[in-house]
């Protein structure tokens, strides 16, 4: 797979403490009695009238800490602290593939899926809030970012205790299609007459052709394939869940957000696909932010439109926080 780019964004930074006196943070364990207990943080307003609404944060792709630290970004920390200052509790936790990344054997990975990677722990996090008397059980929401947003309907399908879903930079498309587009974007930065371009182009086409054949493989056959560096079984199992059907048939409130300057998921192919799918559904609300990137941060400097901008730091824009809070309050009422 040399030369191909799958933007999984696995680079992590240490946690930092909160100094805002208007909020308090409690260390919690998600799935305490399970085989994979996870450390997390529940952020609560220091002064509040119980019970209060709450949000569970669900990570994007790759191993990630509870802050979803990516280069200089810590957007889950941003969301937790900003939402809590406006009266909404937030639960975030370290991802299973972050805490136990050295524990999985090659045999484990043959049948590893998004259920073990993300969904099971998200359901446990929701259950954790349901068992907290300070939280309003009828006002628990889920925010999924990137791949977490893609999986949000599946999490809701298992845990219908949610009051609504917020999908940030997600997609209803198969994951391999997004990775394919990301690789084509990388090609655009190469000299089309160079050997490097030709080598990468041929490899991308080869992986694309394998992906198109995925539907015809049995689960057992898919164990012996990799597509864009990911196990075929992982991708096939993920595609077995009909996200579009759930989105059409369920009436849960939806808030779908994306930055127009997002170069990892496409406004035309992803955000507008949600809009087309849910065009006649009053419970779905869409917001597109003109100057924001995949992490809902406004960056205008050198390296704009590349991963280089993620190194420059920044925070989730206030307008995004305000829109989320307003939507939660309106939905709750």
Is residue 17 pLDDT above 70, yes or no?
Answer: no
For the chain, the structural domain boundaries read 23-174+242-332
**Best CATH choice for the domain 23-174+242-332 from the list 3.50.50.60, 3.10.20.740, 3.40.50.1820, 3.40.1390.10:** 3.40.50.1820
Burial 100-120 (b: 16+ CB within 10 A, else e): beeeeeeeeeeebbbbbbbbb
What is the model's pLDDT at position 250? 85
Report, as residue numbers or ranges, the catalytic residues: 146, 262, 294
pTM of the model: 0.92
Distance CA 258, CA 170 (A): 8
Q: For the chain, give the number of residues.
A: 333
**Summary count for the chain: helices (H), strands (E):** 13, 12
Distance CA 88, CA 277 (A): 30
How do residues 189-242 score in pLDDT, each as one tens digit? 899 999 999 999 999 999 999 999 999 999 999 999 999 999 999 999 999 999
Average pLDDT over residues 288-300: 97
What is the model's pLDDT at position 10? 33
């Amino acid at each position: 797979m040399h030369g191909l780019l799958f933007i999984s964004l696995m680079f992590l930074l240490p946690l930092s403490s909160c100094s805002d006196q208007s909020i308090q943070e409690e260390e919690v364990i998600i799935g305490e009695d399970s085989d994979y207990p996870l450390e997390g943080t529940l952020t609560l307003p220091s002064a509040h009238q119980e019970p209060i609404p709450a949000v569970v944060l669900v990570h994007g792709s790759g191993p990630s800490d509870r802050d979803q630290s990516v280069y200089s970004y810590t957007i889950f920390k941003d969301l937790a602290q900003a939402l809590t200052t406006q009266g909404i509790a937030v639960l975030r936790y370290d991802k299973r593939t972050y805490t136990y990344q050295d524990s999985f054997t090659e045999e484990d990975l043959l049948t590893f899926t998004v259920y073990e990677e993300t969904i099971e722990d998200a359901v446990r996090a929701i259950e954790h809030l349901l068992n907290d008397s300070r939280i309003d059980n009828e006002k628990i929401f889920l925010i999924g970012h990137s791949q977490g947003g893609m999986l949000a309907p599946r999490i809701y399908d298992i845990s219908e205790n949610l009051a609504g879903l917020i999908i940030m930079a997600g997609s209803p498309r198969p994951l391999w299609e997004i990775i394919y587009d990301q690789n084509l974007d990388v090609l655009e930065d190469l000299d089309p007459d160079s050997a490097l371009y030709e080598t990468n182009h041929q490899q991308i086409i080869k992986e694309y052709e394998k992906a198109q054949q995925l539907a015809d493989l049995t689960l057992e056959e898919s164990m012996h394939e990799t597509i864009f560096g990911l196990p075929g079984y992982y991708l096939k199992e993920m595609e077995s869940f009909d996200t579009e059907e759930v989105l059409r048939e369920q009436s849960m409130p939806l808030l779908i957000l994306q930055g127009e300057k997002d170069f990892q998921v496409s406004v035309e192919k992803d955000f507008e696909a949600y809009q087309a799918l849910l065009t006649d559904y009053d419970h779905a609300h869409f917001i597109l932010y003109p100057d924001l990137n995949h992490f809902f941060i406004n960056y205008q400097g050198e390296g704009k439109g590349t991963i280089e901008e993620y190194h420059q730091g920044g925070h989730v824009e206030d307008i995004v926080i305000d829109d989320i809070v307003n939507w939660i309050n309106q939905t709750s009422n």
